[in-house]
């Protein structure tokens, strides 16, 4: 049975896994889990991940959650080109170093900017408070400064001259605020050039197609509210936890 991939491409960790399998021609069956429709809470999905989060993979009887664990599993299982997750211990540790760092530093504010702008108004009925947004933007700017100085430095990619899982995870994350019209890399020629390199290394078509759902999410939300106002109640129930 082909590998099953449970994802919604509006989710940044889902996009990194999706890009990885597509780029590496790993055969898979796509199982879409529409987060805005609350499908992550269905009984069927909860059997796969009781935490109600995507991405999830199912490889035969083996079910795995957490994008970073999934990416490493797939890189090792399918023996993808070495640069993604190098066999050399120290090069691999460089990739792991970024993957460990990003969870608590770069990821939270990038996700927060998206949640505040796109979902806060739907969930609470009020516009996002300006000071909350400024706080998230400042936090992300600081994380990006650290990213550049400590991780990217003068290199082409985080682990050196070739793209790795670290770059894939970082760019997927940094595309999230763009969905609400905020480009965190604007003003940095170094980081913009790095993102362009990642995009070219992945393949522009694949990169753009994968990011289309997040880049059009505001239109999707608008048309949802016009055509299916009841869907907004589902969004409220699903996402209120992020604003408590
Ligand atoms: N650390 C997890 C994060 C998973 C996660 O938070 N997924 C979000 C989308 S980005 C989700 O499924 N949210 C659904 C919900 O909270 O209802 C990973 O990297 O896979």
What is the tens place of the pLDDT at every residue in 197-225?
999 999 999 999 999 999 999 999 998 88
Low-confidence stretches of the chain (pLDDT < 70) are none
Residues 120 and 156 in one domain: yes
What is the 159 CA–ligand 1 centroid distance (Å)?
A: 26
Structural domains in the chain (count): 2
Predicted confidence at residue 228, as pLDDT, reads 83
Task: Please give the residue range of the domain that contains residue 96.
Answer: 89-243
Residues 99 and 40 in one domain: no
Predicted confidence at residue 208, as pLDDT, reads 98
Check pocket membership of 102 for ligand 1, CB cut-off 6 A: no
Residues 41 and 70 in one domain: yes
Residues 100 and 37 in one domain: no
Residues 230 and 140 in one domain: yes
Predicted confidence at residue 225, as pLDDT, reads 83
Check pocket membership of 16 for ligand 1, CB cut-off 6 A: no
Residues 100 and 69 in one domain: no
Predicted confidence at residue 89, as pLDDT, reads 98
Predicted confidence at residue 230, as pLDDT, reads 86
Check pocket membership of 172 for ligand 1, CB cut-off 6 A: no
Check pocket membership of 238 for ligand 1, CB cut-off 6 A: yes
Residues 52 and 139 in one domain: no
Report the 10 Å Cβ neighbour count for 127: 11
| Token pair listed for 78 | 């399918």
Distances (CA, A) of 34 to 12, 57, 127, 141, 172: 14, 15, 24, 30, 18
Q: What whole-number percentage of the chain has pLDDT above 90? A: 91
Domain closes at, from 66, 82, 98: 82
Residues 108 and 194 in one domain: yes
Domain closes at, from 65, 82, 99: 82
Residues 74 and 96 in one domain: no
Residues 34 and 98 in one domain: no
Predicted confidence at residue 205, as pLDDT, reads 98
| Residue in the structure block whose two tokens are 């640069």 | 83
Predicted confidence at residue 98, as pLDDT, reads 98
CB within 8 Å of 88: residues ≥ 6 apart: none
* CATH number of 204's domain: 1.20.1050.10
Predicted confidence at residue 166, as pLDDT, reads 98
* CATH number of 72's domain: 3.40.30.10
List the residue whose alpha carbon is closest to atom 13 of ligand 1: 53
């Amino acid at each position: 049975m082909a590998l099953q991939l449970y994802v919604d491409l509006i989710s940044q960790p889902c996009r990194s896994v999706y890009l990885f399998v597509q780029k590496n021609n790993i055969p898979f069956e796509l199982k879409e889990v529409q987060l805005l429709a609350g499908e992550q809470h269905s009984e069927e999905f909860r059997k796969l991940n009781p935490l109600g989060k995507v991405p999830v993979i199912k490889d035969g009887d083996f079910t795995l959650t957490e994008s970073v664990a999934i990416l490493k599993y797939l890189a090792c299982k399918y023996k993808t080109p070495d640069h993604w997750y190098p066999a050399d211990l120290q090069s691999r540790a460089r990739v792991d170093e970024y993957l460990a760092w990003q969870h608590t530093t770069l990821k939270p504010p990038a996700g927060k900017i998206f949640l505040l702008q796109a979902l806060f108004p739907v969930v609470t009925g009020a516009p996002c408070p300006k000071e909350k947004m400024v706080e998230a933007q400042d936090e992300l700017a600081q994380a990006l400064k650290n990213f550049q100085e400590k991780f990217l430095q003068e290199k082409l990619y985080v682990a050196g001259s070739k793209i790795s899982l670290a770059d894939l995870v970082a760019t997927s994350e940094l595309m999230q605020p763009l969905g609400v019209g905020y480009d965190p890399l604007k003003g940095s020629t170094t980081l913009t050039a790095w993102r362009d390199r990642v995009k070219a290394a992945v393949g522009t078509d694949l990169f753009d197609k994968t990011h289309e759902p997040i880049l059009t999410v505001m239109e999707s939300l608008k048309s949802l509210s016009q055509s299916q106002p009841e869907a907004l109640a589902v969004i409220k129930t699903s996402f209120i936890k992020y604003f408590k």
